[in-house]
Amino acid sequence: MRLLALLFILSPLISLAQTYRVGPGDLLKITVLEMEELNKEYRVDNLGHINLPYLGSLDVKENTATDLQEVISNKLQKEYMNDPQVFVDIMEFNFRPISVIGAVMEPGKLKQDPQNLDLLDAITQSGGVKENHSDRIFVIRKTPIGLNETLEISYRGLMIEGLSYLNIPLYPGDTVNIPVERPLVVSVIGEINKPGELKFSRESKVTILQVIAKAGGFTDYAKRHKVKIKREVNGEQVQIPINVKNIERNKEPNFVMQHNDVVIVP
């Protein structure tokens, strides 16, 4: 996992700040040495234009910062000054915002400037995760040649174990998806203290002993050696006999539950 994350970070996408193509809504900072009139921030309009003193309306959409430096430099050199020193910085990447979707409190596009934003920042700005979040985090990113790359990161590794290498930097246009976890549901009926429907995480195996424990344990009248599991197999309902007494005594292996199993305790 560490190698995968490092390869993902050190791929050509690390130069996204240089290869990012400007679009409507982005905020550009233009600096021209010895020409103070041009030195300010410009918001790209809906048509992809900015309006510069002396140069008028300039179509900037689909240009990188480096492209724009060259374009502005060439225009200035033709009409106003020799060897102009032009610097263009992208201050806000509103055309390709970072989005967080799935099991977070405030899904959607992040409002804060995505420069120097990492995965933890994105989760925090989205209000944190909901209780039904999956352990998997997917970061979906478009490469410079138009393909999608996806990195899977463990939420537990990032948030609980604190593995810093999983806290990857994010880039304009990234989508962070934290899926909603569909719980494993098991029903328990019969001689049990808390009969009903129980929900478990799918991230680890759920056993019959865990189900019994969560259901409050057997009543005094329960026949532990005659428990049955009602399960659908190939479209048909079958009953699987389980001797919980032997499982408790380590004479038989613990039985692993499946979604929608029904535990019947006589």
Phi, psi of 77 (to 5 degrees): -65, -35
CA angle 123, 124, 126 (to 5 degrees): 65
For the domain that residue 147 is a member of, what is the CATH number? 3.10.560.10
| DSSP codes joined into one string, 193-214 | SS-EEEEE-SSS--BHHHHHHH
Q: What is the pLDDT at residue 6? A: 44
Sign of CA dihedral 62, 66, 71, 75: positive
Number of domains in the chain: 3
> Residue type at 102?
G
Domain termination site, one of 178, 202, 220: 178
Structure confidence at residue 12 as a pLDDT band (50, 70, 90): very low
For the segment 20-43, the average pLDDT, to the nearest whole number, is 92
Sign of CA dihedral 182, 137, 203, 126: negative
Q: Where does residue 74 fall: left (phi above 0), alpha (psi -120 to 50 degrees), or beta otherwise? A: alpha
Give which of 176, 180, 18 is closest to 110, Cα–Cα: 176
pLDDT above 80 (res 8): no
Global pTM exceeds 0.75: no
Domain termination site, one of 45, 64, 92: 92
For the segment 201-219, the average pLDDT, to the nearest whole number, is 92
pLDDT in tens, 138-154: 999 887 677 888 999 99
- Whether residue 202 contacts residue 234, with contact meaning beta carbons closer than 8 Å, is answered with no
The answer to whether residues 117 and 8 belong to one domain is yes
Give the C-alpha separation, 102 to 120, whole Å: 15
For the domain that residue 88 is a member of, what is the CATH number? 3.30.1950.10
Q: How far is CA 86 from each of CA 15, 26, 91, 219, rounded to the nearest angstrom?
A: 20, 18, 16, 81
Mean residue pLDDT of the chain comes to 88
- Whether residue 42 contacts residue 28, with contact meaning beta carbons closer than 8 Å, is answered with yes
Which of 84-93, 106-115, 195-204, 207-216 reaches the highest mean pLDDT?
207-216
The answer to whether residues 116 and 225 belong to one domain is no
The strands making up 108-109's β-sheet, listed across from edge to edge, are 108-109, 99-102, 175-178, 136-142, 148-154
Under 8 Å CB-to-CB from 72, ≥6 apart: which residues?
Answer: 30, 32, 52, 55, 58, 84, 86, 88
The answer to whether residues 145 and 203 belong to one domain is no
Give the C-alpha separation, 88 to 33, whole Å: 12
Domain termination site, one of 64, 92, 120: 92
Query: b vs e for 42-54, b when ≥16 Cβ sit within 10 Å of the residue's Cβ?
Result: bebeeebbbebee
What proportion of the chain, given as a percentage, has pLDDT over 70? 91
Q: Which range of residues forms the domain containing residue 257?
A: 184-265
Residue count (the chain): 266
pLDDT above 70 (res 105): yes
The answer to whether residues 6 and 137 belong to one domain is yes
157, two tokens: 């590794």
Q: What is the 8-class DSSP label of residue 24?
A: T
The answer to whether residues 6 and 108 belong to one domain is yes
Phi, psi of 36 (to 5 degrees): -60, -30
For the segment 182-195, the average pLDDT, to the nearest whole number, is 94
Structure confidence at residue 91 as a pLDDT band (50, 70, 90): confident
Structure confidence at residue 74 as a pLDDT band (50, 70, 90): very high
